[in-house]
Structure 1
């Protein structure tokens, strides 16, 4: 076990105890008809808890806000207040909102994120803490908050500090997360920058990346619609815009703000793309000190969520995006993810795809590595140091059409980059497997056709994983895009997945063997794209674009959180696995998504965390509850421990 894991174990005096078996039935909420009510959080007010012997008890609950982005919380160092969610640079200095010229506005408005995502609760000795990561804008930030708990279990912020990531280049789009078995905060960097476009050898000029001038990549019209523009052009543009924003964190002097970054060459001198795209851990000590580190050995991808299994060696990492992969990492030693073996899933479809498909799952060994060697390589290597690149062609002579690469090259189509022909240079397999994990997985025969592969959670009662696929589209279809013929996403892939387009998404269940390895995958519940109305493109009584899932151990329900524009209001569902029924237990304001569903125990009380991210993003209604993200919980509850 790593020193960090042992430290966390020792400070916690045991991880959250298992709950006695019971079932939970939440009082469902109703959806409001009028805008004023649609612009505020509403949540279940009652839950019925039933034990195995049939005894039931009704328990009143409510949604309680712990903090809002932008609020002032006393600083842990005793010097003034922290502005919760304030974006800071690598020296800890505040950053400011920019105007149309890319410079700070005249009012010098602080840049405060309204995008809180994964928010953990941690018991550290006799102290309670929360870590909240703010997903957007770039650069990402995380805040550690010390909490107080009153005699009724209510939580309040006491003090706060920003978690410092400057030793590893800062934090890139921190998304969802989980709690390790040894009670540390596990997160991941999403939408990693594509290092191929930072290669001066492959893309020497602005025009090579943006198709025209650098400004085209930065214009609002330049890269807003992947569906309209196609994967390759949209992906190039996205990389530049994300990096442009992040440059504020790293740059000095005149280049601190994007207006003073004149082109791709400037970005290359400021930002190293291989510093980002990793799973990371934050371990909190008594008194509020912490250790924060990225796990380079686990590989690089668009991390939605990393989940560590009870064996403390097996980690599953979901990859959020277009034409993405499912990874498994097995650590050499329990509790120590600084070295181990990375695997990529090969899906074998066993049914037709009309209802989401059923798949057998094999695992392709991508080799072992250590974080030390990968972090060192990440500091110096460029994309062209690891790969030879050739121009691909398509054989239209016979169907199915196939990609054609020169001898020795492999055709891949991953991450929205489109068709590529790649060859790993001699001696570069280990570093390529970690710095370009998705592309390398494809070259070794793994399935890289998943779309919007989101949250993952473990059900110990049934020994299953649950995973959210937000929408079944693009590479998951059979040479189609949105139900229409299109080769863009399957050419160069194995076309392993052939399912019907479903814009509303599915939750998949995955069987595990005795070594905690996934062996199969099938739909548990899907959204309905055919029962919508003028305000809801997906059936209002079914799930839409599930983003994160959380199995509540001891309550035997699966929480499903939405991130969708296809329901007017996003909701949090409680899904009864045995009965196949579901209830809405929380609704967030229009424009918001639900993030961070998770069950925690602090002392005698239990909390179902749930976060409202970027509320009112799409409305200016006067009745709205404001743009600030809200971090809070449903509860408090008192659940019996075994």
Structure 2
């Protein structure tokens, strides 16, 4: 029996008549959103409601919901001083104190009720005045600052969010000349609370600081007797300034993160500077052309003196300069060297010179990972970088309840959504460096996602994305660290010595010397690091021998050059600003992972690659249903932003266009917090980003099943959530293909007081069920409620859909529940692999419950091994795990082929 559902997505209309861009959003506004060219944009499957707007200039980042339902988030880079933006006079204050300084705050007196319904708060009207736009607002609750940037901490020896050199000097532009990625302590992002008592009223608040050098702070907080939160700033610390994290090289651009299932902070490094090639180009393109001109990306200039200067330099060197993707994120690399202990070089005021750093310099392959802070209450916590999960500009990770499967979103243009699957539960390894597993990149496979001609392309608001995961490689964390260590001693001096004919350390760095080195790197790649030729050779061997058939010295390529490797083998590295991924803590098969794509444009809407859909600059939130093995194979659009990016007529004036969703946070009741990162970019008449609460539709779901020949089985009928309780329902389940399976009976949830005997169709192809909850056993807010179970019998071989038709379903108060019906599937046989429903069905020659005779010829022979190998990913195999799981590990994998071979 498996739990694999198919989509039967009910599309919702735009509630323009109510002044809303999406269903259920418009309680606080009156502006009507005009029609746009892209149907369904904006739109939502379910409903969404505005909870808060943040201060002018700030994103909504780092939401966290406490066990009691309280909410906090970060005030990231709010505007300071005066502004003249068309919304106010130029001498008006941008934000009132304390909202003019970055920090973390909570909403006093508010708690979510965790019943799955948005009725637990009033919707916030749009902020219409300069005063309202200059503060953090919710409808009825005050945003209280808990900790603010550069507050004195750790007994006064540190400033909150500010990194220090080994001798205790603050790494700021007050103390060092040069470029810095974000002024120190201006960008608090992810927040995760790790409780230290059972009540969840005391513990540590971990906060990311999105700068370079990066930082994570740990602040003890506790709930007071009157239900407020208080911070102990004297006991707070910056983890960047502790020896364990400095020993790892520190971090850079710590963006979002997650709390792991083993209750630790997981911080993600958004290292935009990892891009080896710009935009849609590949390393193979550069090797084939014999030059990186027009294609090379920023990471190849990591150890260049004044690395960010390369973008302007190529414009000077070549008549037709180009955008060196990621160059701007090289800001702060030299400050990172000072953080590690390098001597400051002579730099001019306000910028970098080209005097090279030659003593201590950061290794680029040590940045761009998820960082787990084990022993979160220790002094200090022990950081672990998961190198084996791949190197990217990680915005967010999400570890599933199996503690093995990890989804990650890499932010920026032409980036990927990646998956990692550990061999065993990640927290089960005695030494985290022993964590081992397989890294995957996505391949979008359905024809509907692409079109050869621009006028044929489909609407992303109405198009699912079907995902196949391509295995890039298998390794352990320790193996990856050993590969990274090869590049630990490379400095800016090495950049010049390796790429010029005659320059050596101590010589003057003239403009001519730097140009010679830069041109050499453009033509041949940076020889200090993994070479272009190594990446191309890895891809050649991958195509010939598979991910586990490459030479030992090339196995490092997909882990250290993840994006470049994935692009080289044709993965769908086309997502633009993949910024959010989350699922409900403890979510299991049949539940959802949400992916926020902040902008659906550029490579997603061009005429190349696997995804060629219409453009929606307001972005899309997809959801993927977790399968039995925690895989996600289909992404469904559920929140669609406004279509405002193409021409002035595509910027309708509307105040409820939920645009550019960044962080997503799934609460325990299934609702999702959606955070905007589109400051003054959308169609709204106000300049503030907002936090919305998404209420998913009520799913009525029939389970899927795999039945052996002539066998029987059962499938459950479930309702995802019942925010307003349940009084009764009448529904019909039917099959789509006569002759595959019959419905032979059914039973109901024992808690339901009044039921009718299932009404079976004469041909066994349908059953009607009627049920009522007389005694109110199903409480409002209940989740994953089983209404009943249907009995099935295999009648042949093949597949058939199980379709649901909900005639009516009512809440406890008598109101009708708006539902989304989701189909199941029955696979019977197992069917003849590769031969269709009429082929010879596999058999079990030795009666052990395994179908060794794959081709159905009555015996086990080599043809069975070949047929299983060729069909390992087919529904007939994956939905019959018990029949083909020859190694008894509970899943289908290539070792099952090996085990079958050894049985001959």
TM range (shorter): 0.5 to 0.7
Aligned to 2:210: 135
> How far off is 1:539 after superposition?
4.3
2:147 to 67, 77, 80: 67
Q: Does 1:94 align with 2:188?
A: no
Unaligned runs of 5+ in 2: 1-65, 70-112, 278-282, 449-456, 491-525, 544-548, 700-780, 785-904
For residues 414-456 of structure 1, what are the alpha-carbon distances to aligned partners after superposition, in whole Å with 9 as ceiling and x for unaligned? Answer: xxxxxxxxxx994333211110111112223321111111111
For residues 435-492 of structure 1, what are the alpha-carbon distances to aligned partners after superposition, in whole Å with 9 as ceiling and x for unaligned? Answer: 011111222332111111111111438511111001012211132xxxxxxxxxx4xx
Distance 1:249 1:27, change over 3 A: same
1:379 to 461, 475, 485: 485
SS at match of 2:480: helix
1:558 to 672, 678, 683: 672
> How far off is 1:521 after superposition?
0.8
1:90, 1:170 within 8 Å by CA — same for their partners in 2?
Answer: no
Alpha-carbon separation, structure 1, partners of 2:139 and 2:397: 29
SS at match of 2:423: strand
1:153 to 227, 239, 261: 227
Alpha-carbon separation, structure 1, partners of 2:173 and 2:299: 30
The two structures, once aligned, show a CA RMSD in angstroms of 4.4
Alpha-carbon separation, structure 1, partners of 2:370 and 2:314: 27
Distance 1:640 1:285, change over 3 A: farther
Aligned to 1:487: none
How many residue pairs align between the two structures? 497
Q: Does 1:428 align with 2:428?
A: no
1:83 to 141, 154, 159: 159
1:545 to 657, 660, 663: 660
Unaligned runs of 5+ in 1: 1-14, 46-60, 105-109, 393-404, 413-423, 480-489, 581-638
Q: Does 1:500 align with 2:614?
A: yes
> How far off is 1:269 after superposition?
5.8
2:177, 2:347 within 8 Å by CA — same for their partners in 1?
Answer: no
Distance 1:538 1:142, change over 3 A: farther
The 5-angstrom pairing of residues 378-527 of structure 1 reads 378-381=484-487, 384=527, 389=532, 426-459=551-584, 460=587, 463-479=591-607, 490=608, 495-527=609-641
For residues 81-135 of structure 1, what are the alpha-carbon distances to aligned partners after superposition, in whole Å with 9 as ceiling and x for unaligned? Answer: 532122323554312325996499xxxxx96412100011111246411011110
For residues 4-39 of structure 1, what are the alpha-carbon distances to aligned partners after superposition, in whole Å with 9 as ceiling and x for unaligned? Answer: xxxxxxxxxxx9799975534221111122212101
Aligned to 2:442: 345
Distance 1:533 1:153, change over 3 A: farther
Aligned to 1:576: 695
Alpha-carbon separation, structure 2, partners of 1:293 and 1:360: 33
Q: Does 1:168 align with 2:276?
A: no
1:17, 1:641 within 8 Å by CA — same for their partners in 2?
Answer: no
Structure 1 length as normaliser, TM-score? 0.68
Distance 1:446 1:82, change over 3 A: same
- In our comparison, the structure showing a higher alpha carbon Rg is 2
The 5-angstrom pairing of residues 178-217 of structure 1 reads 178-194=258-274, 217=308
Q: Does 1:144 align with 2:218?
A: yes
Distance 1:128 1:522, change over 3 A: same
Distance 1:128 1:536, change over 3 A: farther
Alpha-carbon separation, structure 2, partners of 1:157 and 1:368: 43
Aligned to 1:324: 415
2:268, 2:369 within 8 Å by CA — same for their partners in 1?
Answer: yes
Aligned to 2:128: 33
Q: Does 1:114 align with 2:186?
A: yes
Aligned to 1:360: 466
Distance 1:147 1:428, change over 3 A: same
Aligned to 2:25: none
Aligned to 2:339: 249
- When structure 1 is superposed on structure 2, of 334-343 and 251-260 the one drifting more is 251-260
> How far off is 1:350 after superposition?
4.4
1:67, 1:157 within 8 Å by CA — same for their partners in 2?
Answer: yes
Alpha-carbon separation, structure 2, partners of 1:505 and 1:512: 23
1:324, 1:438 within 8 Å by CA — same for their partners in 2?
Answer: yes
Alpha-carbon separation, structure 2, partners of 1:99 and 1:247: 14
Q: Does 1:23 align with 2:97?
A: no
1:223, 1:238 within 8 Å by CA — same for their partners in 2?
Answer: no
Alpha-carbon separation, structure 2, partners of 1:155 and 1:407: 53
Q: RCO (CA 8 Å, sep 6+): is it higher in 1 or 2? A: 1
Distance 1:254 1:530, change over 3 A: closer
Alpha-carbon separation, structure 1, partners of 2:310 and 2:610: 37
Aligned to 1:608: none
> How far off is 1:339 after superposition?
1.5
Alpha-carbon separation, structure 1, partners of 2:231 and 2:365: 35
SS at match of 1:297: helix
